[in-house]
Amino acid sequence: MIFGKIEYLNLLPFHVFMKHFTKSSSVKISMEYKRNVPAKVNRAFHARRVDAAFISSISARHSSYVGVGIIAKRSVKSVLVIPNKANKKDKESASSNLLASLLGVEGEILIGDKALRYALKSSNYIDLAELWNKRYNLPFVFALLCYHKDKKLYKKIEIEFLKREVYIPQYILEEAAIRTKVSKKEILEYLKLISYKLDAKAKKGLKKFYKLVK
């Protein structure tokens, strides 16, 4: 299996889970990772250069996916617009650029770990997930776990990943902190803002997003 890996902090629990899942005696999956930013992972998935990946929700619209995503119930701190700067899209994103446009927010768009670093040192930003929630009282689904084949495998991943909280070892947290320049404590606080289960309310939020982009 070739998996399109996005190394943003919001997927750290999933990558820790997959490390154990692929080594389990009942699964024994051989996995190869193709690392890149979301926009490039989207293109690689649709070109079938990867078998599965977290795909931006707007790009995942006509793809097969399971009930796992990157979801913000309210604020997220990693999808921002800096309002006093010139309009500038984030080339790493797809759904976030469109979301800013739908919400009528102008400025420089930042996503991912660089956005989180900015939010930790400045209050001069608009949190797009928080604004979406205030406007529609719904979560925003930024990405979905999509696949091309082996549905049973990905349903198993969904069930196993969602049924328990993933413990992140200290050495992995330390590595992530060094790589992202975000402290271990801040990483754990940030991860509390992320949900992964595509529940009924998240599905309503996704449906609302798709309706608005028609």
Mean pLDDT for the stretch of residues 2-16:
91
Q: What is the pLDDT of residues 10-22, one digit of tens each?
A: 999 999 999 888 8
CA 157 to centroid of chain Cα atoms: 16
CATH number of 2-198: 3.40.190
pLDDT of residue 92: 81
pLDDT at residue number 30: 60
What is the pTM assigned to this prediction? Answer: 0.92
In a 3-state reduction of DSSP, which class is residue 192? coil
Whether the Cβ atoms of residue 110 and residue 134 lie closer than 8 Å to each other: no
Render pLDDT for 22-50 as a digit per residue (tens, 0 to 9). Answer: 877 555 556 667 777 888 888 999 999 99
pLDDT tens digits for range 36-87: 788 888 899 999 999 999 999 999 999 999 999 999 999 999 999 999 888 8
Residue 200, token pair as written in the block: 């009924």
Q: How would you list the strands of the sheet with 52-56, edge to edge?
A: 32-35, 2-5, 52-56, 140-147, 64-72, 194-197
- What's the Cα-to-Cα distance from 105 to each of 87, 132, 168, rounded to whole Å? 9, 11, 35
pLDDT in tens, 112-166: 999 999 999 999 999 999 999 999 999 999 999 999 999 999 999 999 999 988 9
Work out the pLDDT band at 173, boundaries 50, 70, 90: very high
Residues 85 and 68: their CA atoms lie apart, in Å, by 34
**Interhelix angle for 112-121 vs 184-191, to 10°?**
110
Helix, strand, coil abundance in the chain, percent, nearest 5: 45, 20, 35
- Say if CB 53 and CB 65 are below 8 A apart: no
List the Cα angle 156/191/166 in 5-degree steps: 40
Share of the chain above pLDDT 90, in %: 76
Residue for token digits 């998996």? 3
